[in-house]
Amino acid sequence: GEDVEQSLFLSVREGDSSVINCTYTDSSSTYLYWYKQEPGAGLQLLTYIFSNMDMKQDQRLTVLLNKKDKHLSLRIADTQTGDSAIYFCAESLANQAGTALIFGKGTTLSVSS
Amino acid sequence: KAGVTQTPRYLIKTRGQQVTLSCSPISGHRSVSWYQQTPGQGLQFLFEYFSETQRNKGNFPGRFSGRQFSNSRSEMNVSTLELGDSALYLCASSLAETFNEKLFFGSGTQLSVL
């Protein structure tokens, strides 16, 4: 079945770049997403990439997609303490009956000053 | 524009009871999805409603059900609660106009089953 895997923890120093990695299994996924969850809050959509793209940049965020290896990464440049949160990778399984997102278990990013 | 609103924010129930959670989507959004979040299983898709019809369903038992009203507001119900149903239940809405389903999530309802 479909599965999305992420490493569980990442610790970086303020000002460094963070790279969060994700692998997925469903090659028919049309869109791949990155969401952020802060304590006590719901999920906030950070960015997404269409499956026929290799890269997407949005301010401090860069998404890289290697469709052959089914590998997705999120790079956060100049990481700040406010970036500390859980980051979820998700794939969209579009079908005629609608869509559902399959999420990874999340990567906890800890940023130290 | 107001975001996705979920009520109540916290809920405590005992085993065997039933519970109803409510979700008001962003104005103009026609699709509402529900997800269960637990530390062990992570985020799991429950079901999606569009135009008052369930059009997608995850792998959960029949104790979990939902509905959507004509104003797109949605409720989910869990009957005969079990301890394992303790979780954060998240609702998400989307325009549902394309395959790029950008979901906007509410803050969730934290359900504790004692």
pLDDT tens digits, one per residue of A67-85: 999 999 999 999 999 999 9
What confidence category does residue A95 fall into, taking pLDDT thresholds of 50, 70 and 90?
Answer: low
CB A31 within 8 A of CB A49: yes
3-state helix, strand, coil in chain A (%, to 5): 5, 60, 40
Q: Is the pLDDT of residue B17 over 60?
A: yes
Beta-bridge partners for A9 = A108
Nearest to A66 by CA among A17, A108, A107, A27: A27
When mean pLDDT is compared across A31-45, A95-109, B24-38, the lowest value belongs to: A95-109
Q: Is the pLDDT of residue A8 over 80?
A: yes
On average, the pLDDT of chain B sits at 93
Does B54 contact A at CB distance below 8 Å?
no
Q: Which residues of B touch A97 (CB under 8 A)?
A: 55-56
A residues 41-100 near B, CB within 8 Å?
Answer: 41-45, 48, 50, 88, 92, 94-95, 97-100
Give the residue-averaged pLDDT of B102-114: 94
pLDDT at residue number B97: 67
In sequence order, the 6+-apart residues with CB closer than 8 A to the CB of B77 are B18, B19, B20, B21, B64, B65, B66
Q: Residue B48: which of A30, A35, A98 has the nearest Cβ?
A: A98
Q: What number of CA atoms fall less than 13 Å from residue B106's CA on the CB side?
A: 29
pLDDT at residue number A97: 55
Give the residue-averaged pLDDT of A22-51: 88
